[in-house]
Structure 1
Amino acid sequence: MYQVLVNWLRKIHGYEITGQWHLEQVCDDGDYHHLYCDLTIKKLDSPHLEALLELLATTSIPKLEGYFEQVFKYEEQLHP
């Protein structure tokens, strides 16, 4: 997936694609946790992300809901 996006969006449209974007967050337990979103997409001349992708092949509904909630936590960190 990463290579397809690089070949398409970076080479043709000038976007920057980053795999495994690292974030740190203080969670409900009060400790720092390291979080990793799968792919980020941004324009080279912009400080802000255009898109954040969390990839998932298959899972249960409760785990899917957890991933869904996690994306909002990523957004809070990337756009405070």
Structure 2
Amino acid sequence: MIDAAERARMLKAHSIGPRMISYLEEIGIERLSDIRGADAEELAMRIDIALGRKHMNRLGVEALRNLIALAASIPH
């Protein structure tokens, strides 16, 4: 589960909202550091598999790219 402080940091990424955060929780993401260097398309595919349907469109993938960029900008 993503704690409140980490959730607040994630929400700072452009186009990331509570629903996307719940999707990330579905695939086991708990911290921004979990997605540092990740591939947005792969995360989208994992979310689609977890939800049991094609859900992530190009805007969702772009939002994931924004979140990955935020994760990369935070010092280790």
**Superposition TM-score, scaled by structure 2 size:** 0.36
Bigger Rg, which one: 1
Structure ranking higher in helix proportion: 2
Would you tell me which structure has more strand in proportion to its own residues?
1
Structure-1-length-normalised TM-score: 0.34
